[in-house]
Chains A and B, each alone.
Chain A
Amino acid sequence: MIDVGVMLAVLLAQKFEQRGFVENSTVVYPQTAPNDSGRVVDELLFREEASYKFAPWFTVSGSFDARTDSHRQTARDAVVDADDRSILRPAFSLRRLSATIHRGKLTAEIGRQLIRWGKTDILNPTDRFAPKDYLSSVVDADFLGVSAARVTYESGGDTVDVVWQPWFTPSRTPLLNQRWTAPPAEAAGVSIVDAGARDPGGSQYGARWNHIGSGYEYSLCFFDGFQNLPSFDVLFTPLPPTTVALTRVYPRLRLYGGDAAVPLRWLTIKGEAAYFTSSTPGAEEYALYVIQLERQVKEWSFVGGYAGSVVTRDAASPLQFAPDRGFAKSFVGRAGLTIDANRSLAIETAVRSGGSFVRFEYSQLFGQHWRATGGIAWVRGDMDDFLGQYRRNSYGSLAIRYSF
């Protein structure tokens, strides 16, 4: 009995932290799309994040999502999903559930977690353990957690990060019958169906060395695993009704990359580059690079740069979902204004030769808990351009969030 009392007292004395929010976001599209007549999409998300520090060196952290929406993008099953591989968003999911052990210069995190690499903001070619959820927007996607073991050794200005991901988490792609999939005009009258995915069975691993020097920092990284953005195997049935069945496949991928940041007197220069090779026959090999400049002037912050790509081996099949390369060959910029402690304004843009995207966003905090964010996004361009194909997807949005 005494032991139980002592244990309870010890447990209560440990550190529990939590935060969370409930957010309702409404997106209004003035135009319908050929494959989507819906003009209003409403999403409701509840997210709870908590951590418990059992000892100064041992913490367990978790993040739980519950969501629903008006556009059938979220599954309706009352099941808690822990690997986020489904085509629909799960109604209930564990975004994070991990144990962190910290001893001296060593930190190990094991379990479902978010892993982010890279230094630039407009595109991160080296960010390979960070699949995204593109289901409801290709231009504004959230990150998905991955199940992995991550060990980090930090000494002085040097950090070595080693990650092993035993099973694969793909990025979630837009649904074929919704507006963020833009079928070509030639596909009119053809029934396009989702034939599922062939998820790769192997593990992924990677390592990154980051060095912070006097007035600069850089990193080098290596990754061996799979592309988390799919290519499509096509099964064409010409007999009426004409059908195209698309199967998502994920080629092997090996990455050699690096990034750097150099703060100068007038601006900060950041760069990131990666070369991708693949042992999968017919898979594309390419390089992605980003160079960006940052500057703050009073309450304005400016980020601008260029994202480029060089293809060294063409893909056998042109059917791929590749927003990372879609945003390449673009000039990308962001300007943010902190009006005061509660209000902010942001303008984002991406401009390519064949398309462009501009978004204005105003955000205001009310009291200690409520925030409203309103925005307008404008997409323009040619149908054969990555951004231009979404030209009917300009939208207005309003998100109301209660944080606790």
Chain B
Amino acid sequence: MNRLFLLLAAVLPVLAPAFGQDPRQIILEVQKRQHSDSQRYEGTLEVISEGNKLATKRWVYQRLGSFGSSKAILRFTAPAEVKGVGLLIVNHPDRASDQWMWRPAIGRDQRIALQDRSTRFFGTDFSFEDLEERDVDQYDYKLLADEGATWKLESRPRKSSQYEYSYFWVKKDNYTFVKVEAYGKKGLVRTIDYKNYEQIKGIWTARATEVYDVARKSRTILKYEKLEYNLPMKDDDFTLQALRRDL
């Protein structure tokens, strides 16, 4: 099975130009190559606000399932005051995700109202929308330019979004995102850079993501440590009970 996967991974870049001109196919290929049944990493998040003030948060993230129907638990490990705070995310292919937060200090889970996807994620420069799983069919794509090593694509959301359109740069050789520029009605809102790619279990993986909030002049760097794919995980570990089980 692994050999077959490696073979496909080797052959696909050669075949890529044959269908690479279709922007939707490019995005589908990106998702296909990043597909994994489960994922775990330890994230370090550095928020560097205007004036170079630094705030650091850490968490452990586990996901079971893939695009559209996955479940994930994110558990903060630092700073000390939020240690144990957990977030359960249940994604649905046809509607917004359900999210519950577990706060040990009050000993109960709370369903999070998430009508505004432009809300920043725990005070960082990521919005909740930036962290959502992206369904290809919810966007219209256009190939804007062939820039040698990368394609430049434009996506426009079909459903409501804080963004009017976004530009994506995708590397041709391994179908990975390099950069995203997201625009609102008044111009550029955010840039997202994907850095330090490494192959982990055959999947090209950015080890850091840097987002820059243009209006706030603030940036957030998310580093992925101890990242692993396709670990054995159980459905029972992605429930409200699982959320409250750990300290």
Contact = CB atoms under 8 A, between A and B. Distances in A.
Interface in A241-293: 261, 263-268, 270
A117 B107 CA distance: 10
B247 A21 contact: no
A115 interface: yes
B83 A215 contact: no
Nearest to B48: A341
B170 to A, nearest CB: 30
Contacts of B158: none
Contact of B80 (A59, A265, A338, A403): A403
A298 B116 contact: yes
Nearest to A303: B113
Nearest to B162: A298
Contacts of B47: 340-341
A50 B247 contact: yes
A215 B95 contact: yes
A116 B245 contact: no
Interface string A363-376: 00100110100000
A263 B114 contact: yes
B184 to A, nearest CB: 12
Given A115-B107, A403-B81, A19 B247 contact: yes
Interface in A1-60: 17-21, 49-51, 59
Given A107-B245, A368-B80, A338 B111 contact: no
A19 B119 contact: no
Nearest to A59: B245
Contacts of B247: 17-19, 49-51, 61
B113 A51 contact: no
B199 interface: no
Given A19-B247, A102-B245, A338-B120, A369 B111 contact: no
B123 to A, nearest CB: 4
Interface string B118-155: 11101110000000000000000000000000000000
B104 A263 contact: no
Interface in A306-333: none
A21 B80 CA distance: 8
A152 interface: yes
Interface stretch (B5-13, B36-44, B234-242): B234-242
A338 B123 contact: yes
Nearest to B96: A263
Interface size of B as a range: 35 or more
A404 interface: yes
Contacts of A338: 120, 122-123
Interface string B146-179: 0000000000000000000000000000000000
B214 interface: no
Interface in B86-117: 92, 95-96, 98, 104, 106-108, 110-111, 113-116
A189 to B, nearest CB: 42
Contacts of A270: 111
Given A59-B245, A105-B236, A159-B240, A299 B119 contact: yes
B111 A298 contact: no
A104 B123 CA distance: 36
B80 A296 contact: no
A341 B239 contact: no
A121 interface: yes
A371 B81 CA distance: 9
B122 A266 contact: no
Contact of A295 (B49, B79, B113): B113
Interface in B34-76: 47, 49, 53, 55-57
B78 interface: yes
Interface of B: 47, 49, 53, 55-57, 78-81, 83-84, 92, 95-96, 98, 104, 106-108, 110-111, 113-116, 118-120, 122-124, 218, 236, 239-241, 245-247
Counting from the closest, the 3 A-B pairs by CB-CB distance are: A116-B108, A114-B107, A403-B80
Given A59-B245, A263-B115, 17 more contacts: A17-B247, A18-B247, A20-B80, A21-B80, A104-B236, A105-B236, A116-B107, A212-B98, A212-B240, A214-B92, A268-B113, A297-B119, A299-B123, A340-B55, A365-B55, A403-B79, A403-B83
26 contacts: A19-B83, A20-B80, A49-B84, A50-B247, A61-B247, A102-B245, A116-B107, A121-B110, A143-B106, A154-B239, A154-B241, A159-B240, A214-B92, A217-B111, A263-B98, A266-B115, A268-B111, A295-B115, A296-B113, A296-B115, A338-B122, A339-B123, A341-B49, A341-B57, A365-B55, A368-B56
